[in-house]
Structure 1
Amino acid sequence: MLNIRGVIRKAYGLSEKICNMKSTKQLTSFISTGPQQQHGTFYEIRTYCIKPEKMNAFSKLTNENIHLRTAHSELIGYWTVEYGGINQFVHIWKYDSFAQRTAVRTALAHDKDWQEKYIAHMMPMLQIQDNEVTYLVPWCKIGKPVKDGVYELVTFQMKPGGPAVWGPAFQMAVNTHANAGYADLIGVFHNEFGQLNQVHVLWWYENPDQRAAGRHKAHEDARVVAAVRASVSYLVSQKNKLLLPTPFSPLK
């Protein structure tokens, strides 16, 4: 004879187990990754290492032909590296989705003017190129300075675990520094492709001396020191570059 009560108990127990599994999975997902990207917009950071004797020629060539490239997608900024790297250019491009980037790359490959006027002349000047796909962290938007200046790109290699682990402390360190007025925050970018667990912070200064003075004051600011001290426990390494905007860079 069929034991109805037993069947009901088993069914109830299975349903409860499935619900618990879903709940645990959702909780584990959030703990592992932290706040999720809410939209498809991402930023590609490209670094070009140019042959030393070709730096001026590369800059001139790009200045004359960049309009062919920006006709396809949005350029955020384009810089030469003054300190922290030699014979390098760094540029950041915005895309609404991976599908858009694929379409842009396909269009560029078939753009005769771009290929003949730029790529054919640029490639012999190039030594190494690298790219990273990044997302803006949820608590940051792209800033825009009110006047021309210089930029500092600081790259932090964080311990594994994602923003759920180090996000709050890192956010506090960055915002404390920005809110104190020692630098203008332009953007905080978290890697999706490239070196994982890596974050890039882009700052703006009027000039290198203003940066140096701000750094000196920040090191004596108890608020900044406390925030940085809480964040460094999640830090593996860091490096930086001083960037000078090119004449054709949207971010000056």
Structure 2
Amino acid sequence: MLTRRVCGGVRNALPVSSVAITASRPFSSFAAAQGPARAPALADITHDGAPKFNERQKEFRESLVNAQKQKEQQEKDARAREAQEGGKKKGALSSLIYGTPEGRELDKDIERSFSQVLARGKYVHSIVFHEVKPDKVDEYVELVGQWYPKMASMPEHKVHLVGSWRAEVGACDTFVHIWEYQRYQGYHASLNAIQHHPDFPEFDRKLKKLIHSKRTSLMQEFSFWPTTPPRHLGGLFELRSYTLHPGNLLEWETHWRRGLKARREVMEGVGAWFVQIGELNTVHHLWQFADLEERKIRREQSWGIEGWGETVHKTVPLIQQMKSSILIPCPWSPVA
């Protein structure tokens, strides 16, 4: 798993392809599938999809590496121009690295706190669990598949949809959605804008008839593991959720920072987040695999890489409880 944002504008340098949709900062919002709504299912995953998955994964990773090289070259060129111009305070390099005035204003007041040691700070993510009534699953897919992409596509809502998935192993008929906001200000602004949309009361009324319950937590991504940009690699996802003993988050981050170097050699990560409001002391890791057999193979391979065994040995005592769910992406999910 490679870094999503090298400096703020890496994605802007990426080529658009049918495999990795990474051309701009906002997450792409995919329209719901045409035709009758149908919930995604594990049966949609074929047993022979690993070669295509690996090909798409290779192209996706190479596109990120190339984007990083382009960004570094742009910074080098800008630095040279500033040197020639006498190092003006607001030269090309400053604009390139620090972005727009709004972006600089957003970053400059980030406080050095415990969470900032762990997190990247600029982004807040929400993870939403909808427990859907079994006989209402397809209605839910149709309703949410129209509403979520519509809300994410409106710039004034200041929100990006990372992805939407249906759990097929674990808490079945539970749908998982991850959203990204520009810090907590963006979260408040997004909620306010969406709930004042003229169609929201009708959507909310219909949604409440389709679900048993809703759970939401607000999270931040670990600084060493930025959330992936939009991509379509295929396959399935595994959400691993860990409830830690209170006070152990910093130690968890230290060990996982080292362990991820081993894991990323054989497995494709989507992101890692720790909950700040909601189900406290919880960490979520999201991985992507071609199929269940490839998941088994990749996990076994990681044990042969130096550093992974030590990570497991040191993190297991920190855990109170752990859960694993196999997820299938919804038709509109930007990460799929």
TM bucket, shorter chain? 0.7 to 0.9
Q: CA RMSD in A?
A: 2.2
Kindly state the Cα deviation for residue 162 of structure 1 after the two structures are TM-superposed: 4.2
Q: Which among 205, 211, 214 is matched to residue 120 of structure 1? A: 205
Corresponding residue of 1:89: 175
Question: Partners of 1:153 and 1:87 in 2: how far apart?
Answer: 15
Question: Partners of 2:221 and 2:162 in 1: how far apart?
Answer: 13
- Say whether residues 1:230 and 2:314 are aligned partners: yes
1:38 to 1:86, Cα distance in 2 relative to 1, 3 A: closer
TM-score by length of 1: 0.79
Unaligned runs of 5+ in 2: 1-111
Runs of 4+ residues over 4 Å off in structure 1: 219-223
Question: Partners of 1:169 and 1:37 in 2: how far apart?
Answer: 15
> 2:149 touches 2:332 (CA, 8 Å); kept in 1?
no
- Say whether residues 1:138 and 2:230 are aligned partners: no
Corresponding residue of 1:239: 323
Unaligned runs of 5+ in 1: 1-28
1:146 to 1:74, Cα distance in 2 relative to 1, 3 A: closer
Task: Percent identity, please.
Answer: 21
Corresponding residue of 1:18: none
Question: Partners of 1:67 and 1:187 in 2: how far apart?
Answer: 21
Amino acid at match of 2:213: I
Structure 2 matches for 1:33-72, cutoff 5 A? 35=117, 37=119, 39-70=121-152, 71=154, 72=157
Question: Partners of 1:239 and 1:174 in 2: how far apart?
Answer: 19
Aligned pair count? 220
SS at match of 1:139: coil
Question: Partners of 1:64 and 1:34 in 2: how far apart?
Answer: 36
Corresponding residue of 2:241: 155
Question: Partners of 2:173 and 2:312 in 1: how far apart?
Answer: 31
Higher strand share: 1
Q: Deviations over 1:166-190 (max 9, x none)?
A: 32123223332222x1x21111101
Corresponding residue of 1:16: none
Corresponding residue of 2:73: none
TM-score by length of 2: 0.60
- Say whether residues 1:197 and 2:281 are aligned partners: yes
Question: Partners of 2:310 and 2:248 in 1: how far apart?
Answer: 22
Kindly state the Cα deviation for residue 34 of structure 1 after the two structures are TM-superposed: 7.8
1:167 to 1:152, Cα distance in 2 relative to 1, 3 A: same
Q: Which among 156, 173, 189 is matched to residue 103 of structure 1? A: 189
